[in-house]
Structure 1
Amino acid sequence: MELLPNILFIDDDTDILEIYHLAFQNEEISIHTASNGFDACKMVEECRMDIVFIDLMMPGLNGIETLKRLKGIDPDIDVVMLTAYGSVESAVEAMKEGAYDYLHKPFEIDKLKTTIKNILQKRHLSFNLDKKIAELSAIHEATRILSSTTDFDDLASVIMGTIVRVMHADEGSLMLLDKTADELYIKTSKGINEEIVKTQRIKRGDDVAGWVLEQNEPLLIVGNTIADDPKFINVTKRQEILSSIFVPLQMRDGVNGVLIMNRTKTRVSFTMDDLILTSIFAAEIGGAIERSKTYATLEEKMTELIGLNIKLKNLFLNTVTALSSAIDAKDPYTMGHSSQVQKHVLDIANEMNFSSDEKNLMSIIGLLHDIGKIGIKDGVLTKPGVLEKDEWEQIKKHPTIGAEIIKHIDMFNDVSEIILYHHERYDGKGYPHGLKGEQIPLKSRILTVADSFDAMVSKRPYRDPMPRERAIAEIKSGSGSQFDPDVVVAFLRVLEREDAAIRAIEDLE
């Protein structure tokens, strides 16, 4: 089962706190209350809270000061301000200090429930997006390590740190089989007491790890479910472990170890997706151990690395679309924007006679060009009005953030530069570096036209979509100033063919 989200209500009126308890007693959330800001800060220091509701007007430490202190303790906590006496100024101040929302009393309990639901959905999306990015980085890092050494002693400790990080685990270990004693011992670990690492030995069939070794079956443990399993009746479970994954290490001559991940602090339990990903890492580790023992020639090593790089590329390409969807989902007003930009850049690339490899690269660029928006606050991305100067400066950072995210993926080195410059203008008045003309990479100039056109014809929180004819006129008007004239000519030819095809279909009807 999933651990319940922790929701904290802070109000100096104990009757109101009791109402909150009663209203949410049947919901799948854990309600906590505090009657003042000082107690609330102490609670957040001792127990991670997901959402905090703060009454603005409280004696002692008022709502704004409590908000500041809570954000100092946990910057990721989501805070909603509640008040019956609020003004526009107090709302603005709260939002500047990092509040997620601002609700006026009195309000219906259903309004609170909707707010909680929206925040939890946002946190879940952010968590999954972080996981996807971490998985990509971890796969790349593991490949780099595997390609640089055949010394498994060095390999194991580095890969273990990578796996623990990407799995959001609090500790992990790789247990290998001592075939002479038929016992498992810890080869490498992360976050586990050194004394346990030195002394722990588990016989085949004993404990959970021994059972996984003997049965050659992966195991996902959530909460206290192991206590009800008759095959583990004699196993003493560590109470601090909230969720675990055990995966057998399969090699040519049988199962020779177990890869173990534990969560002791992270409140989200492991899932079947986590079990599958851990199994992939276990397979790679098993292969790495065998390669470290059997590499005889450089040719064998190169063949293995080529295969591994192909696998990495396929894994990456399969993840790109999902990652792009997650990026679009962060801003509901740009849902589908990445796929539309991908279509336009491919159409232009075809029109300009790009090679197959270049078009593949443009496809990825189209999907990931706005990946940097994951670093921009939701409230800025979806603001329904004109952006303030500091908010606009935040938005302008997304090309740089996006370039930083993907520049470490060697096989797509060129993508980073293209994303970095896709808001430069042909006349040099763009950002982030004010490049002009041929200084801007051609692929960035193509992306600028495609991105701008789709932005114009799409609905935004601050305006309705622009008619297609007017958007085309804007593209023409920007030729030579905002846009590369050659790219504009190519794009207009594409749009003319599309319009002609639509007219032909309409004539048939």
Structure 2
Amino acid sequence: MASPEGDLALTVKELSNVYEELTLLYRMSEVFSFLSIDEICLRMAEEAVNSIGVEMSAVLIADEGNQNLHTKAFRGCWDDKRVFPRDEGVIWKAIDSKKPSAFCALAETEHQAYFPGLTSLMVCPILGKARVMGALVVSGKGSGEEFLSSDSKLLMAITSQAGLAIENALLYKELESLLVGAIKALVKALEASSCWTAGHTERVTEYALAIGRTLGVNADLLERLKISALLHDIGKIATPKEILNKNDALDEEEWREIKRHPLLGAEILVELQQFEDIILSIKYHHEHWDGRNGLFKLKHGEIPLMARILSVADAFDAMTSDRPYRSMMTRDDAVSEIVSCSGTQFDPAVVDAFLIWIKGSGPTPQHQVS
């Protein structure tokens, strides 16, 4: 007959396990929400090793057709080139049943040949709300210990949070793809209205992203910069076509109209509340670093970083492209002009990053200028 002390000890242990699981759930939900899919998978593999003390963990993600599993991240000894096609094997069974499977003595089961070299195995499905994400595979508990129910609970806590985070990240990517597609359609409509702007947006986007990477900006800001670059001239939709397509030099009044396009672009996009930083980057991308020129007379840090990057990328493409009132500059001349305007028109740090890029890889071949 169990003693009160023994019952109490068992209750305390159960409470400790529940607390550990809840703590892990909270920590994972906080961490995963800020990570990319690759980072989520890597963190999942690391947490599996750390939380239950296994020698190997591997995160397998299903392809779009949900017919094959590919390794996305792993820790320990694992064949990351192996592909697991849909079959009756233990991994797909765990996924289809939506339940974990554990084998403490793998050599004594029918699955030994399926996982040569592994002595034990636990498979936990990674599931989103509406789709299968993949599976977490672990093996080799320390000192030959058996897998416990608390182990499967902890791993399922990890995979449940990771599955939702991966699903959300995939949905975000799909929405982002739709958004970028819509933006590109708008840009094509803009560039179709002027024979002088074809390809400009694509090139400015390439240059801006290259400068951003050289500056070391994070992946999230790079995505925002990409959208900013794609939309930076959207205000020209409201510019009269006769000005955009004029074959002679623009007069003073026409220049004033052209210079309004950053403000017009911001006004066009104002309803996109989630794009506030992007709208400000578009609005201020022709401001000068020293504040002496530009529509709003902002200077230095008052100008958003993305706008400062766009300013250099936009100017470089404009100088190395033909215009109705002048011929294109050579690349060297355009670079010299940007250097000469560092500290006045352009942010010196952005110019330094531009020079590192241009002297290294530079524009892609189809965008090279003479």
TM-score by length of 2: 0.50
Compute the displacement of 1:469 (Å).
0.7
Aligned to 1:339: 202
Contact 1:333 1:382 in 2 (8 A): yes
Aligned to 2:321: 458
Quick one: distance in 1 between partners of 2:364 and 2:279?
Answer: 35
Compute the displacement of 1:310 (Å).
7.2
Structure 2 residue matching 1:492: 3-state secondary structure: helix
> Residues 379 and 328 of structure 1: is their aligned pair in 2 closer, same or farther, counting only changes over 3 Å?
same
Q: State the AA in 2 paired with 1:439.
A: E
Compute the displacement of 1:419 (Å).
0.3
Compute the displacement of 1:324 (Å).
1.6
Quick one: distance in 1 between partners of 2:234 and 2:363?
Answer: 34
- Choose from 397, 417, 420 the match for 2:280: 417
Compute the displacement of 1:500 (Å).
11
Aligned to 1:330: 193
Aligned to 1:407: 270
Q: State the AA in 1 paired with 2:205.
A: Q
Aligned length: 199
Structure 2 residue matching 1:498: 3-state secondary structure: coil
> Residues 308 and 357 of structure 1: is their aligned pair in 2 closer, same or farther, counting only changes over 3 Å?
closer
Contact 1:384 1:462 in 2 (8 A): yes
**CA displacement 1:316-346 (0-9 Å, x = unmatched):** 2221222222212211111100000000110
Quick one: distance in 1 between partners of 2:171 and 2:305?
Answer: 32
Q: State the AA in 2 paired with 1:431.
A: G
- Choose from 297, 301, 305 the match for 1:434: 297
> Residues 458 and 355 of structure 1: is their aligned pair in 2 closer, same or farther, counting only changes over 3 Å?
same
Quick one: distance in 1 between partners of 2:263 and 2:364?
Answer: 39
**CA displacement 1:35-87 (0-9 Å, x = unmatched):** xxxxxxxxxxxxxxxxxxxxxxxxxxxxxxxxxxxxxxxxxxxxxxxxxxxxx
Aligned to 2:216: 353
Contact 2:249 2:324 in 1 (8 A): no
Q: State the AA in 2 paired with 1:342.
A: T
Matched, 1:495 2:358: yes
- Choose from 222, 228, 231 the match for 1:365: 228
> Residues 451 and 468 of structure 1: is their aligned pair in 2 closer, same or farther, counting only changes over 3 Å?
same
Compute the displacement of 1:446 (Å).
0.6
Quick one: distance in 1 between partners of 2:244 and 2:294?
Answer: 18
> Residues 310 and 334 of structure 1: is their aligned pair in 2 closer, same or farther, counting only changes over 3 Å?
closer
Unmatched segments (≥5 aa) in structure 2 = 1-164, 366-370
Q: State the AA in 1 paired with 2:333.
A: R
**CA displacement 1:119-140 (0-9 Å, x = unmatched):** xxxxxxxxxxxxxxxxxxxxxx
Structure 2 residue matching 1:413: 3-state secondary structure: helix
Compute the displacement of 1:351 (Å).
0.4
**CA displacement 1:174-215 (0-9 Å, x = unmatched):** xxxxxxxxxxxxxxxxxxxxxxxxxxxxxxxxxxxxxxxxxx
- Choose from 381, 391, 412 the match for 2:244: 381
Quick one: distance in 2 between partners of 1:407 and 1:500?
Answer: 32
Quick one: distance in 2 between partners of 1:355 and 1:412?
Answer: 17
Report matched runs for 1:100-179 at 5 Å: none
Compute the displacement of 1:468 (Å).
0.6
Unmatched segments (≥5 aa) in structure 1 = 1-302, 503-509
Report matched runs for 1:6-405 at 5 Å: 312-405=175-268
Aligned to 2:336: 473
**CA displacement 1:105-130 (0-9 Å, x = unmatched):** xxxxxxxxxxxxxxxxxxxxxxxxxx
**CA displacement 1:358-382 (0-9 Å, x = unmatched):** 1111111111100000000011112
Structure 2 residue matching 1:447: 3-state secondary structure: helix
Quick one: distance in 1 between partners of 2:177 and 2:318?
Answer: 30
> Residues 449 and 501 of structure 1: is their aligned pair in 2 closer, same or farther, counting only changes over 3 Å?
closer
Q: State the AA in 2 paired with 1:492.
A: L
Quick one: distance in 2 between partners of 1:484 and 1:500?
Answer: 21
Quick one: distance in 2 between partners of 1:421 and 1:501?
Answer: 27
Structure 2 residue matching 1:427: 3-state secondary structure: coil
Structure 1 residue matching 2:236: 3-state secondary structure: helix
Q: State the AA in 2 paired with 1:409.
A: L
Compute the displacement of 1:427 (Å).
1.5
> Residues 491 and 375 of structure 1: is their aligned pair in 2 closer, same or farther, counting only changes over 3 Å?
same
Percent identity for Structure 1 against Structure 2:
41
Quick one: distance in 1 between partners of 2:363 and 2:205?
Answer: 22
Aligned to 2:159: none
Compute the displacement of 1:400 (Å).
0.5
Let me know the Cα RMSD of the aligned residues: 2.5
Compute the displacement of 1:436 (Å).
1.1
Contact 1:325 1:336 in 2 (8 A): no
Quick one: distance in 2 between partners of 1:446 and 1:500?
Answer: 15
Contact 1:386 1:462 in 2 (8 A): yes
